[in-house]
Amino acid sequence: MHQVRSIFLSDIHLGTRACQASRLLEFLRQHESEKIYLVGDIIDFWSMKRGVSWSSEQNTFIQKILKRARHGVDVVFVPGNHDEVLREHVGLSFGNIRLEHETVHIAADGRRFLVLHGDIFDQATRYSRVLTVLGDHSYELLMWIQGVLSGLRHLIGIERHWSLAAFVKQRIGSAVRFIQGFEEVAAQHAAERGFDGIICGHIHAAACREIRGVQYVNCGDWVDNCSAIVEHMDGRFELKRFDGALSLNPTQAPEQSDQPAPSEETQAIAHSGRR
């Protein structure tokens, strides 16, 4: 059992077949913390409108989070776009879990981090719901194909987790450019609001690195990457990836970003995302 100061989870997508709840439970069994941040898209209400796939492992996850909240763990839930219906209730608490539109996390070393889901940086989500829904259907098709491939991999004895969606994202230039642009905008948004860093999710692209003096942290997801962020007792952040039945591999310490300065279009998106 590893004792850490904080755990950050996002994009779990409970209620869908793609949710990797069993792996998430194994992660939680291996990690205790003082704080837990649920950084959006925890429950996928969008997909559940078309059909619900709720496993016993998903139910156990809910029970485990509620139990930890009852036993003194500070749990904050920042809803995302897939569970945006809960944004109507921000400021309230249920089962000792606080609902917040966004929140501020002060690390053990004193750094201040803005914590939000990140959909405010996604033009498609913010300005065209139709495009987002179309993208959601395409993503579900990928998840169905991955389910078939995972079954075949299991039959031949390959247990290590592999994501078709993540594979596709890494090899499509437009997807790579979108992720890079998202990261730049998020880091710039945090800097303009006076934060030392930003912790988000939304794009299913886990990261923990510095971008022009701002610590950019993305939790990833429990669909494609099976990843989480932990804060150690000294304020150090670490990205952990689950890549097997009982295997959690930490990502190496982040390197300084060498990405170019954001374009005028990127800066415009950042300003439009300011509240």
pTM of the model: 0.78
| 253 has a pLDDT exceeding 80 | no
Which DSSP state fits 159? -
User: What's the pLDDT at 178?
Assistant: 79
Confidence of residue 114 (pLDDT cuts 50, 70, 90): very high
Note the pLDDT tens digit of each residue in 173-221. Answer: 566 777 888 999 999 999 999 999 999 999 999 999 999 999 999 999 9
The number of distinct structural domains making up the chain is 1
> Is 209:254 a contact under the CB 8 Å cutoff?
yes
Tokens 């539109």, located at residue: 101
Q: Exposure pattern of 91-118 as b/e (b: 16+ CB <10 Å)?
A: eeeeeebbbbeebebebeeeeebbbbbb
Residue 231 has pLDDT above 90, yes or no: yes
Which residues span the domain enclosing 253? Answer: 2-272
Q: At what angle do helices 264-272 and 173-192 cross, to 10 degrees?
A: 60
Which of 115-119, 156-160, 249-253 is predicted with the least confidence, judged by mean pLDDT? Answer: 249-253
Give the ranges where the chain is alpha helix by DSSP (H).
21-30, 45-48, 56-70, 123-127, 129-155, 164-171, 173-192, 264-272
Once rounded to an integer, what is the mean pLDDT over residues 54-60? Answer: 97
Specify the pLDDT at position 257.
Answer: 39
Q: How far is CA 141 from the centre of its chain?
A: 21
Beta carbons within 8 Å of 21's beta carbon, 6+ residues apart:
12, 14, 55, 57, 58, 60, 61, 222
CATH number of the domain that residue 64 is part of: 3.60.21.10
CA 150 to chain centre: 22
